[in-house]
Amino acid sequence: MVVWAHKPDLFGLLPRRLGALASAASLALLACGGGDVDVSLAAAPVPMESLQGVAAVGAALGNSPVKIRCPREKNATYPISATLSKSAALEDSAVFKVTDASNTDQTIFDGQVIRLSTKGSLPKPLNTVENFYVVNKTADGFQLSRSPSGAALSTFGGIQTGLHSATTGKMLEQTVTTGADGAYAVNFSEDLKVQKPCLLEVSAKGTKLHAVSSGLSGVANITPLTEALLAILVETGDLARYFTEFGESNAAELRQLASAKNIDSAWNKIKAMLASNGIDTSAITTEPISASLSAANALKVGDAHDKLLDKLAFGIDIVSPYNFLQGKEKMLTLIKLDSKGLPLKNQFGKWSDAGSEEAGTQWDCVHDTVTNLLWEVKPNLSSHLRHREHKYTWFDSKVVQDDKGNALVFNGGDAGTELSRSCQGFADPSKCNTENYVRAVNQARLCGFETWALPDVDTLQKFPLNYASVGIVNTDYFPDLQAQTLANSSFWTSTSSANSAEGNYAWVVNFGSGKVEDGLKASTQAVRLVLPVNTYSVEISSAKPAVFTYKKTAAQSAIANDQMVTLRTNGLLPNTLSQSRSYYVVKAQAAAGSFELSTVKSGESIATLNAGASKGPHFVVVGVEPAAKIADVGQCHPGIEVTRPDSRYTVSGDEVTDTVTGLLWKRCVEGLSGATCTGTAKPASYKGAQALAVEAAKAGKPWRLPSRAELAGLVDRKCTGVWKYKQDTSSALYMSQRTFTETGGWEQPAFWSQPITISNPSASFEFSVDGKTWDSKPSSDKLYLREKSTTSAFRIAGETGYGWRDGVPPEPADQKAALWLSKRVFTPYGAAPQDAKWSEPEELKTGSKLEFSTNGESWYFPPTSNDVYLRESPTSPKVIMRGEAGTQNQVKTAGAFVTGLSYTIQAVGSTDFTLIGAASNFAGVVFTATGPGKGSGTAIENVSQITGYAFFRGNYTADDYPTGGSFASPKPGFKQIGQSGQGMVKGFAFYRGNLPPSAPSGGSFAYPTPSSAGWSDAIPKEVLISVTESAASSGRAINQTIFPQNASSSPFAQAIWTATTNPNYPANLTNPDSNSQAAWIVNFYNGFLDYVDVSTAGVYVWLVRSP
């Protein structure tokens, strides 16, 4: 039996009729056989266990009801009667009442599972095979629903008495009331075999707070901190609904989740968030559930734990402490950020289109501290770059490097649609596509960062949605979603879909339904950018410049040079540092865990002015660089990256460990077994799937159904669809070549040469990736070519006749090409300080300090091919970068002297040189001008050195550095080829196909690349053709080596149940059965995430357990 009581020493009183209730319950159960407690009236007292704690929000939640719900070992069965009552909808609904004297306070409650039995007939549609849930429990009885928090069932038909009984689920619930100081206590006896964990809920003035107790005794406080901790553990923000639906399966899952290790991990995340917002958590030496707590009330002040709860308002004047959460259960895991990437001081303001950051009514980003992701928030302003109504076509032309450094394109073989309808903020508004949007947002440095990206399909599913609640979007933090028609709110991911051999689809996530499906790249969808970040606690030295030291977790990477960071502090930063701007890391030392900061990339460390060490604690937030992508052309779709490699998994017998998530999976679906998963897979309904999980757990390991997020983590989107690629053996590689001259003179052929076939391996040519190691295989990663009979090597991919030049080369119209800069100091006679060679090339990117101009007056970045002038900063002098020439004897007339330059007097004339820095007025005197001067005197400008600038567009290698140049002509020289001695370049063109092609056309000295369709200056990849296969033998969207699933079986177990139900169902389905329920499934045939009615029988079961 469970006895619920206040402790006498807490409240000074005993609950009335405690002993009488216990005796009456035992007597009634024995007399009627309606219960499962086998205790005689003369039995000795049963040992008790006590669970106690305090409910508070900075003030005690006094005289407030606390519900405690726990699993138990047995069911309870009671005789019941049924009567009809009018519901609010004026429909008949059966009301049930226990007809014996049993005390059902603990066993029958709203949300409890009920199974009916009868010797007669039940009101329709009630039956004896389906589970129902208690709703509308009162002293007069209860009603039944098909969901834990659903409406009471409408019933009809005859009512019979004395013939029905109800068997409850294995759960208990009771309510106690807190004292004035917020304290409560509950005692457990051994009679009813109560099990752990227990879920607790306190209700006070419209606020509900929750906590979990992993034991049946000890301390379990209920505060906003325990609310946030539980939200992290169970990954839901709707804890009120979670409590209502908390049943046997949830209890089994929570038993795994509420381990001491997981609770400590969740508490550490909360502590880090609080510290970043200036809140010291040292008052709690353990996690907040079991920490000592004495809450303030009318009779006493609170302790340090209580004062910490007071601080959680972040300085905001909240009218009542009971309004602390106001439904924002995830407020401690989500942080609103301003335009600089700093937390808003007011985290509780409601969005207003006319609001401000200062008032907490507008923000630009949200930081999810659970996933360490920053998400953009869109304003409601039609002229704004990030307007919430803008939609974009999918486009990705980026060339990226895989984990081996190879240049690859991961767009599924189709870059998508570049041209679209107009939208705001783009240099070319007709190109309203995803790639342009990402580029524009990074140029605008949203929240202080310039590494925002379109999320891949795995990352976008981490967007803070709650798939187990009605209304899955958190509009408190993302108000732009409130105005959208969520049923049509699909957001692009960066992941192409393998369901189409042509690659013209990409994955989308629907924020209204939660579904994951693919969409045509030419269609327009919404975009939600993401930025992965890491937060590190740092200490700042008193040295000048300041040295930052940090410690990283096992999951974090070391801080590296040139990473952009923002600072957060709960104390005082050195004078020259600020929380309101971003910095770049310099002098990073991974082994020492230290770094310094600069205002520019690779710049000088910032000097600090504070006397003594700064006061903390301090934190840095670092944008995480994306990991190198992995390619595997031989597996499934070659144009989609590998995300589920063999190295991710560890196989041990019939279990597989996912080293990324830590989860342990059965290697086979239920019904299959062995290393190759042989047998017959068992399809089941949702209820049947739950039964299979319970049966599997009886063997001693806590197997369970996976959550939606857990099962989705197995999907390999490289391998969806009903087709596979194979090499087209009938295709061949063809090559053509043509020489281009700088002037287009007589040495330039009029046409490209007739194509010749290049075999593999080639008998005549050799190829190289780096110009050093050569072989006869013409693969797509090769950049250089040479004839076997010679040693002369030619660049074949990305070549330009311009090479290095003293002006900015024009950007090719059909592609993006990197721009590089090198410089060199020259002196008149080549003596010191002339540089021995040109400098290491530097790629010019957004954020560069350099500025360019065509007229020396208007300055900008990036440069254009028309620019003449350059300056290295707004305060630096302008220099001529194109057509510059150094002259030793440049004569200047008075009035044109430049202050600070050195001159030698040539003729005195009417000028008084002593007024502008000269010692005397004699020819030959050297002076430094202090002004422009006046009169007819002349002087020779003493030019001692000049800086030459060289530019290159494309990809350079070690042998591509600029060469040549002099004081008189400080520019790099062209390669001189041919009898005319003019600049020349040889272009190569390649084509792969089944029939010999015609010769290509197009090309120029600047870009010697063909313009004919199918021809390229790079060696094309081998042709792969798609072959359609049966759905039974393909469509295994999973690592097929680790999870074989019996390749010979038909059909493949494609649709798999998750444990996550969908409370939105059936509201968003056509003509639904109003009493239906649905659960999420993952389709391992096409990669979709969808939901189906729980009665669906053809879905398979894959079990998981936590470590």
- Distance, in Å, from the CA atom of 706 to the CA atom of 692, rounded to the nearest integer, reads 13
Dist CA 245 CA 243 (whole Å) = 5
Residue 646 confidence (pLDDT) above 50: yes
| Position with higher pLDDT, 556 vs 63 | 63
Cα separation, 292 vs 816, in Å, equals: 62
Percentage of the chain lying above the pLDDT 90 cut? 21
- The DSSP-derived string for 160-182 is --SSEEEEE-SEEEEEEE--TTS
Which pLDDT does position 546 carry in this prediction?
Answer: 85
Strand order in the sheet with 851-853: 851-853, 869-871, 879-880
The pLDDT of residue 599 is above 50: yes
CA distances from 233 to 35, 230, 248, 950 (A): 34, 5, 17, 57
- pLDDT-based confidence at 17, cuts 50/70/90? very low
Higher pLDDT, 627 or 83: 83
The residue type at 272: A
Question: Which of 312-321, 491-500, 548-557 shows the lowest per-residue confidence on average (mean pLDDT)?
Answer: 312-321
Model confidence at 554: pLDDT above 90? no
Mean pLDDT, range 775-782, rounded to an integer = 88
pLDDT, tens only, 940-970 = 887 777 888 988 876 655 456 788 888 878 8
Q: Please tell me the distance from the alpha carbon of residue 348 to that of residue 366, in angstroms, as a whole number.
A: 13
Give the chain's radius of gyration (CA, Å): 37
Q: Find where tokens 């209920």 sit.
A: 222
Give residue-wise pLDDT tens across range 122-145. Answer: 888 888 888 899 988 888 889 998
466 confidence band (pLDDT: 50, 70, 90): low
Per-residue pLDDT, averaged over 572-592, amounts to 82
Quote the tokens at residue 151. 């409406």
10 Å CB burial of residue 119 (0-12, 13-18, 19+) is exposed
For residues 918 and 987, what is the distance between their CA atoms, to the nearest angstrom?
Answer: 59
Is the predicted pLDDT of residue 237 greater than 70, yes or no?
no
Alpha helices in 807-933 (DSSP H): none
**pLDDT of res. 889:** 63
The pLDDT score that the predictor gives to residue 329 is 35
Give me the amino acid identity at 837: K
Per-residue pLDDT at 1046: 60
> What pTM value is reported for the model?
0.53
pLDDT given for residue 474 in this prediction: 72
pLDDT score, position 1067:
46
Q: Hey, is 305 helix, strand or coil?
A: helix
> Which has more pLDDT, 62 or 889?
62
Say what the pLDDT of residue 888 is. 56
- Residue 403 confidence class, pLDDT cut points 50, 70, 90: low
Higher pLDDT, 792 or 1088: 1088
| Mean pLDDT to the nearest integer, 922-928 | 88
pLDDT at 434 over 90: yes
Environment class of residue 85 by beta-carbon count within 10 Å: exposed (0-12), middle (13-18) or buried (19+)? middle
- With a cut of 80, say whether residue 9 has pLDDT above it: no
Tokens, residue 1020:
């094309």
Residue 38 has pLDDT above 60, yes or no: no
User: Which residue did the predictor score with more confidence, 1007 or 854?
Assistant: 854
Whether the per-residue pLDDT at 1050 is higher than 60: the answer is no
What confidence category does residue 161 fall into, taking pLDDT thresholds of 50, 70 and 90?
Answer: low
Q: Answer whether CATH 3.10.100 is correct for domain 646-723+1029-1105.
A: yes
- Rounded to the nearest integer, the mean pLDDT of the chain is 78
Q: How far apart are CA 367 and CA 382, in angstroms?
A: 25
Residue 989's beta-bridge partner residues? 736
Look at residue 401 in the predicted model and tell me its pLDDT.
63
Sign (positive/negative) of CA torsion 682, 688, 693, 694? negative
pLDDT at residue 320 greater than cutoff 50: no
Range 282-308 average pLDDT: 88
- List Cβ neighbours of 436 (8 Å cut-off, separation of 6 or more): 392, 395, 426, 428
Model pLDDT, residue 254 = 87
Confidence (pLDDT) at 199 = 95
Task: Check whether 590 has a pLDDT greater than 50.
Answer: yes
Of residues 184 and 37, which shows the higher confidence score?
Answer: 184
If you search the block for the tokens 């757990």, which residue do you land on?
697
pLDDT at 481: 83
Query: Regarding predicted confidence, which is higher, 15 or 819?
Result: 819
Phi, psi of 10 (to 5 degrees): -90, -40
Using the predicted structure, report yes or no on whether residue 347 has a pLDDT greater than 90.
Answer: no
pLDDT, position 331 = 40
Please, which pLDDT band fits residue 457 given cuts at 50, 70 and 90?
Answer: very high
Burial class, 991, CB count within 10 angstroms (exposed 0-12 / middle 13-18 / buried 19+):
buried
Query: Helices in 312-465 by DSSP H: which ranges?
Result: 434-443, 457-460
CA distance 886 to 901: 15
Are 955 and 818 in contact, with CB atoms under 8 Å apart?
yes
What pLDDT sits at residue 472?
61
Residues contacting residue 866 through CB under 8 Å, at least 6 positions apart: 854
Q: Is the pLDDT of residue 672 over 80?
A: yes
Q: pLDDT at residue 2 above 80?
A: no
H or E, element range at 737? strand 732-741
pLDDT higher than threshold 50 for residue 575: yes
Identify the CA nearest to 643 among candidates 1088, 1083, 1058, 1037.
1037
Helix (H, G, I), strand (E, B) or coil at 1062: coil
* Token pair recorded at residue 183: 């304290």
* pLDDT at residue 422 in the model: 60
What percentage of the chain has pLDDT greater than the value 70? 78
Could you tell me whether strands 113-118 and 732-741 are parallel, antiparallel, or unpaired per DSSP bridges?
Answer: unpaired
Mean pLDDT of all residues in 363-369: 89
Residue-range domain boundaries for the chain: 2-66+175-323, 75-169, 333-629, 646-723+1029-1105, 729-763+793-800+976-1022, 802-885+946-973, 889-942
User: pLDDT tens digits, residue range 506-540?
Assistant: 999 988 778 898 989 988 899 999 998 888 888 88
Q: Are 135 and 152 in contact (CB under 8 A)?
A: yes
